[in-house]
Structure 1
Amino acid sequence: MRKVYILLLIATLAITSCTTTAPLAKSVAYKGMYEEKPSVALIMPPINRSTNVEAKEFFHSTLYTPLADAGYYVIPPFLSMEILKKESAFDSELFLDTPLNKFAEVFGADMVVFTIIHKWDKSSLASNVNVDIEFIIKSAKTNEILYTRRGEIRYNTSVSSGLGGLGGLVADLTLSALNTAGTKYVDVARVCNYYILKDFPAGNYSLNHGLDGAQLAGLKSFKVNLSAK
Structure 2
Amino acid sequence: MLQRVMKLAACLAPAMLAVGCATHQATPYDYTAFKAAKPRSIVVLPPLNTSPEVTAGYTVLSQVTYPLAEAGYYVLPVALVEETFKQNGLSSAEDAQAVDPRKLHSIFGADAALYLTVTNFGASYTVLNSVVTVSAKARLVDLKTGTTLWTGEASANNDANNNNGGGLVGALVAAAVKQIINNSTDASYPVAGAASQRLLAAGQVNGMLYGPRSVYYKQQ
1:133 Cα deviation (Å)?
A: 1.3
The question of whether the paired residues in 2 share the 8 Å contact of 1:159 and 1:175 is answered with no
AA of the residue aligned to 1:57: Y
**Number of residues paired by the alignment?**
194
1:210 Cα deviation (Å)?
A: 2.6
Report which stretch shifted further, 173-182 or 31-40.
173-182
Percentage of identical aligned residues: 24
- For 2:200 and 2:30, the matched residues in 1 are separated by 14
Check 1:118–1:148 CA distance in 2 against 1; reply closer, same or farther (3 A cut): same
- For 2:68 and 2:214, the matched residues in 1 are separated by 11
Q: Map residues 1-229 of structure 1 onto 2, 5 A cutoff.
A: 23-25=26-28, 29-94=30-95, 96=97, 99-125=100-126, 126-156=129-159, 163-181=165-183, 182-198=185-201, 199=204, 200-212=208-220
Could you list the runs of 5+ residues in structure 2 that have no partner in the other structure? 1-18
AA of the residue aligned to 2:196: N
| TM-score calculated relative to the size of structure 2 | 0.76
AA of the residue aligned to 2:140: I
What do residues 149-179 of structure 1 show as CA deviations (whole Å, max 9, x unaligned)? 123444416667x652343223322232233
1:127 aligns to what SS in structure 2?
Answer: strand
Cα RMSD for the two superposed structures:
2.9
Check 1:210–1:93 CA distance in 2 against 1; reply closer, same or farther (3 A cut): farther
- For 1:153 and 1:190, the matched residues in 2 are separated by 9
2:60 aligns to what SS in structure 1?
Answer: helix
Instruction: Name 1:223's counterpart in structure 2.
Output: none
